[in-house]
Structure 1
Amino acid sequence: MGFFSNLKTATSESIKAVNHGAELFSEAASSLERATDIWVIESKISRLEDDIDRALLGEYCRYELEGMTEELDELYQEFSEKADSGDIVRLRERRARLYSRVHQVQMNSLADDIHKTQAALQHRTFLMPVDYKRELEWLKSEVENLLGMLPASKQGMKQKYEQQQKQLAADIQRLEAQRYTEEFDYYLSGSKKSVLRRRDSKLNGDSEEWYENGMRKQLAQFSNGKCDGQFFCWRDDGSLIVQAIKNRSTGERIQTIYLENGTIVCVVRFESSKNGQMKIWLWNGVYLGKACINHGSVERGGFLFQMLFRPLVWMSVFKAWKYKADRDGLENLVEATRHWEASINVIDRMQDIDKNPKIF
Structure 2
Amino acid sequence: MGLIKNISRAVTSTCHAIDNGAKELDNIAGELEKSSARYLHRNQISRLKDEIKRLQALPDQYDLIINIKEEMLIEYDMYIEVATGDEIKNYIDERRLLEIELTNEKLKKTFIRLNAMKIKILARKSRLAIEQIQALNNLSGKFIKLMDDSNASVVLGSEYAKNIFRKCRDEINNISVLIKKLEMERVTEDIEIYSSGEMKFKISKRDEKPHGRSVYYFDNGSKNKIFSFNDGCLEGLSRCWREDGSLAVEYNFCSDLSSVKIATYTSYGIKVADGEIKNNAGGLRLWLWGGVYIGNIKIKDGRVKRKTAILKILMNPKFIALVCETLKSSEMKIEYKEFIDTVNLFHDFSEEIFSMSKS
Q: TM-score range by the shorter chain?
A: 0.5 to 0.7
1:263 maps to 2:270: yes
CA distance in 2, matches of 1:165, 1:212: 50
CA distance in 1, matches of 2:248, 2:165: 63
1:114 maps to 2:125: no
Matched with 1:288 is 294
Secondary structure in 1 matching 2:258:
coil
CA distance in 2, matches of 1:119, 1:193: 40
CA distance in 2, matches of 1:111, 1:311: 83
Matched with 1:144 is 144
Matched ranges for 1:195-274 at <5 A: 195-249=202-256, 251-273=258-280
Larger radius of gyration: 2
Give the aligned residue type for 1:183.
D
Q: Does the C-alpha gap of structure 1 residues 250 and 120 become closer, same or farther in structure 2, counting only changes over 3 Å? A: closer
Q: Does the C-alpha gap of structure 1 residues 346 and 186 become closer, same or farther in structure 2, counting only changes over 3 Å? A: farther
Q: Does the C-alpha gap of structure 1 residues 351 and 301 become closer, same or farther in structure 2, counting only changes over 3 Å? A: closer
Q: TM-score scaled to structure 2, two decimals?
A: 0.63
Query: How much does 1:202 deviate?
Result: 1.4
Query: How much does 1:208 deviate?
Result: 0.5
Matched with 1:184 is 191
Give the aligned residue type for 1:130.
I
Query: How much does 1:112 deviate?
Result: 4.5
Secondary structure in 2 matching 1:204:
strand
Matched with 2:328 is 322
Give the aligned residue type for 2:172.
Q
CA distance in 1, matches of 2:197, 2:311: 52
Give the aligned residue type for 1:115.
N
Matched ranges for 1:1-360 at <5 A: 58=67, 107-108=107-108, 110-118=110-118, 120-121=120-121, 124=124, 126-151=126-151, 155-249=162-256, 251-273=258-280, 275-296=281-302, 298-299=304-305, 303-304=309-310, 306-307=312-313, 310-347=316-353
Matched with 2:23 is none
Query: Percent sequence identity over matched residues?
Result: 21
Secondary structure in 2 matching 1:212:
coil
CA distance in 2, matches of 1:255, 1:303: 16
Task: Tell me if the contact between 2:302 and 2:354 (Cα under 8 Å) persists in the aligned partners.
Answer: no
CA distance in 1, matches of 2:310, 2:164: 81
CA distance in 2, matches of 1:303, 1:214: 36
Task: Tell me if the contact between 1:319 and 1:327 (Cα under 8 Å) persists in the aligned partners.
Answer: no
CA distance in 2, matches of 1:300, 1:119: 58
Q: Does the C-alpha gap of structure 1 residues 299 and 167 become closer, same or farther in structure 2, counting only changes over 3 Å? A: closer
Query: How much does 1:287 deviate?
Result: 0.6
Q: Does the C-alpha gap of structure 1 residues 202 and 280 become closer, same or farther in structure 2, counting only changes over 3 Å? A: same
Task: Tell me if the contact between 2:199 and 2:221 (Cα under 8 Å) persists in the aligned partners.
Answer: yes
CA distance in 1, matches of 2:307, 2:141: 64
Secondary structure in 1 matching 2:290:
coil
CA distance in 1, matches of 2:103, 2:162: 17
Query: How much does 1:238 deviate?
Result: 1.8
Give the aligned residue type for 1:292.
K
Which ranges in structure 1 are unaligned for 5 or more consecutive residues?
A: 1-56, 60-92, 354-360
Task: Tell me if the contact between 1:289 and 1:303 (Cα under 8 Å) persists in the aligned partners.
Answer: no
1:192-233 Cα offsets, whole Å, 9 max, x none, are: 121011111111211001222322211101233332332111
Task: Tell me if the contact between 1:194 and 1:210 (Cα under 8 Å) persists in the aligned partners.
Answer: yes
Computed over aligned residues only, the root mean square deviation of the Cα atoms, in angstroms, reads 3.5
Q: Which moved more, 1:145-154 or 1:235-244?
A: 145-154
Give the aligned residue type for 2:340.
V
Task: Tell me if the contact between 1:252 and 1:272 (Cα under 8 Å) persists in the aligned partners.
Answer: yes
Matched with 2:38 is none
Give the aligned residue type for 1:248.
S
Task: Tell me if the contact between 2:118 and 2:136 (Cα under 8 Å) persists in the aligned partners.
Answer: no
Give the aligned residue type for 1:160.
K
Give the aligned residue type for 2:253.
K
Q: Which moved more, 1:108-117 or 1:177-186?
A: 108-117
**How many pairs does the alignment contain?**
264
Query: How much does 1:321 deviate?
Result: 1.5
Give the aligned residue type for 2:128.
M
CA distance in 1, matches of 2:355, 2:307: 30
Query: How much does 1:237 deviate?
Result: 2.1
Task: Tell me if the contact between 1:192 and 1:212 (Cα under 8 Å) persists in the aligned partners.
Answer: yes
Q: Which moved more, 1:319-328 or 1:208-217?
A: 208-217
